[in-house]
Amino acid sequence: MKNKNLYNYILGIADNSLILGQRLGSLTGHGPSLETDIACTNMSLDLFGQVRSYYQYAAKIAGDNRTEDDIAMLRKEREYVNVLLVEQPNTDFAYTMARQFLFDVYHLSFLQELQKSKDLTLSAIANKSIKEVSYHLRFSSDWIKRLGDGTAVSHQKMQDAIDGLWTYTDELFHQTEADKAMVAEGIGVDVTLLKEAYYEKVKAILDESTLQTPESKWFQKGGKEGVHTEHLGYLLAELQYMQRAYPNMEW
């Protein structure tokens, strides 16, 4: 493939949204209330919409016969390059919102930078996605505050979720080979530059929610290189089931 770096770079962005979208989508019919259930599936659909634009573009760049669906459905676990954060399970609603919040803060600042990309397709996708992701952040930070500054039980659950997911936050700011190559060409976002503002923003919301910002300096990594936690395999088994069981099926 001629544009291998650009292809991998797009997957590095899109896989996060695909896997997070799948996580949120699996709450359909299982949300804590009808209203939050619909809210989570709305966010899931926003993310899947973004994913389609990215994968369609990636398929075009690949220049062979592969389609957006092949990219989404037919890769093996080690070929997905999403961050570990987004594949973490829906342990409870506090975890679901904490995962969303920790990703949304990153996602919004990432898209704001991606808008300035020299690559006009990526810049257009970013431009379209920003409004959706701004709402995701509004929704998730509201829930961080509600549960953090709620009852003793909700506070404890939210603190546990933030503590449990904290170890996956640093990876958001790691650079892959494709990242570095795309930054050099003015196409990619230098994620290392987003880190400081990210932790400031997160801390401000946690403070407001009366939650402690974890101090642990030990972080997990690997997702961006295809080395995942045990949770991704199960998620992919569900995501890919139809295509694996009935190859090329359409509806």
Please, which residue, 88 or 140, has the CB nearer to another protein? Answer: 140
Q: Shortest gap between Cβ of 19 and another protein (angstroms)? A: 22
Task: Tell me the window of 34-42, 85-93, 185-193, 220-228 that interacts with another protein (CB under 8 A).
Answer: 34-42
Residue 198 binds another protein (CB under 8 A): no
In sequence order, what DSSP letters do the residues of 161-188 get, joined into one string? HHHHHHTTSGGGG---HHHHHHHHTTSS
Q: Shortest gap between Cβ of 46 and another protein (angstroms)? A: 10
Q: Which of 30, 34, 217, 230 binds another protein (CB under 8 A)?
A: 34
Residue 152 binds another protein (CB under 8 A): no
Tokens of residue 248, six digits:
């090329």
Residue 146 binds another protein (CB under 8 A): yes
Looking at residue 229, the DSSP 8-state letter turns out to be -
Q: Shortest gap between Cβ of 233 and another protein (angstroms)? A: 31
Q: Shortest gap between Cβ of 135 and another protein (angstroms)? A: 8
Tokens of residue 8, six digits:
């991998």
Give the separation between CA 189 and CA 168, rounded to whole angstroms. 20
Compose the 112-141 pattern: x for residues touching another protein by CB under 8 A, - for all others. -----------------------x--xx--
Give the separation between CA 173 and CA 171, rounded to whole angstroms. 5
Give the separation between CA 229 and CA 227, rounded to whole angstroms. 7
Residue 39 binds another protein (CB under 8 A): yes
Q: Which of 70, 77, 142, 190 binds another protein (CB under 8 A)?
A: 142
Binding residues with another protein: total (CB under 8 A): 13
Tokens of residue 96, six digits:
């679901």
Neighbouring C-beta atoms of residue 105, cutoff 10 Å? 25
CB distance 95 to 143 below 8 Å:
no
Give the separation between CA 87 and CA 229, rounded to whole angstroms. 8
Residues lying near another protein in the complex (CB under 8 A) are found at 33-36, 38-39, 42, 135, 138-139, 142, 146, 151
